[in-house]
Amino acid sequence: MDQGRGPSAPYRRSMIVLDDLVIPDTAASSAALEIASAYQSSALLSHSRRVYVWAAAYGRLHGIPYDAELLFVAAMFHDISLVPEFDSHSVSFEEAAGHIARVFTAGAGWPRERRERLGEVIVRHMWPDVDVAGDPEGHLMSRAAALDIVGKNIDDFSPAFRAEVLQQHPRLGLADEFLACFQAQAERKTGSSAARAVQSGLSTRMAANPLDAAQYGEVEGG
């Protein structure tokens, strides 16, 4: 298990180093990245990469122990069912993504309990809050996804670190593509989490995300 360590002081935010947040050196992690790269658009793939970075960085900064391999695989698959090849017309996208990830990791030799944990983490990334004590990876994923999509808790990280992450994993027009995906999900699955997000003003919250500001790199990167 990886674990974040750092002093509980204002200086913590500047202590994280992006180069330390590497892809876990496991066969499952490499294969998950390969699948995500093959099926997701460039914008969705970059989003998935950022979600892992935000999640892992927050865990390290706040001393939250997490399973790096499980967290990375969850990040690679959490939006996989937004692509046409894996889209479900009856099941919420995060539930469908959880099923896909379970099948993938069964082939990778993961035991049933670990596959179920992976599915839970993916489903819970759509929860507004996940108890860190009961599900550290779910907590990190939920917080990271909300940060990347709507800018929630953006002050978790320093402006310099945010700019560095965006330079390495650019947004590539994610906002328009992601919103269109959610609107399509909401139309077909009116009781889904995507529908609830759209109905509760997702487009407005996304438009206000500082990560998508036109001059972001100039303002935040210094």
Q: Are 56 and 2 in contact (CB under 8 A)?
A: yes
Distance CA 218, CA 178 (A): 24
Confidence at residue 16, expressed as pLDDT on a 0 to 100 scale: 78
Strands 65-66 and 2-3: antiparallel
Confidence at residue 12, expressed as pLDDT on a 0 to 100 scale: 58
Distance CA 105, CA 113 (A): 11
**For residues 94-103, average pLDDT:** 98
Residue 144: pLDDT band with limits 50, 70, 90: very high
Residue 197: pLDDT band with limits 50, 70, 90: very high
How distant is the alpha carbon of residue 68 from its chain centre?
13
Given a cut of 90, whether residue 117 has pLDDT beyond it is: yes
Question: What does pTM read for this prediction?
Answer: 0.90
Angle value at C-alpha 59, between 86 and 77, nearest 5 degrees: 5
Rounded to whole angstroms, what are the CA distances from 33 to 63, 66, 196? 26, 19, 29
With 0-12 CB in 10 A as exposed, 13-18 as middle and 19+ as buried, what is 218?
exposed
Q: What percent of the chain has pLDDT over 70?
A: 90
Residue 213: pLDDT band with limits 50, 70, 90: confident
Confidence at residue 7, expressed as pLDDT on a 0 to 100 scale: 45
Rounded to whole angstroms, what are the CA distances from 70 to 13, 38, 116, 204? 24, 20, 11, 32
Residue 115: pLDDT band with limits 50, 70, 90: very high
- Of the two residues 22 and 93, the one the predictor is more confident about is 93
Rounded to whole angstroms, what are the CA distances from 118 to 36, 57, 135, 150? 16, 19, 11, 24
Given a cut of 90, whether residue 123 has pLDDT beyond it is: yes
For 2, the 3-state DSSP assignment is strand
**For residues 119-147, average pLDDT:** 96
Confidence at residue 104, expressed as pLDDT on a 0 to 100 scale: 98
**For residues 102-109, average pLDDT:** 97
The string of pLDDT tens digits covering residues 30-75 is 999 999 999 999 999 999 999 999 999 999 999 999 999 999 999 9
Mean pLDDT, the chain, integer? 91
**For residues 85-101, average pLDDT:** 96
Encoding tokens for residue 215? 């001059």
The string of pLDDT tens digits covering residues 6-28 is 444 344 555 777 888 889 999 99
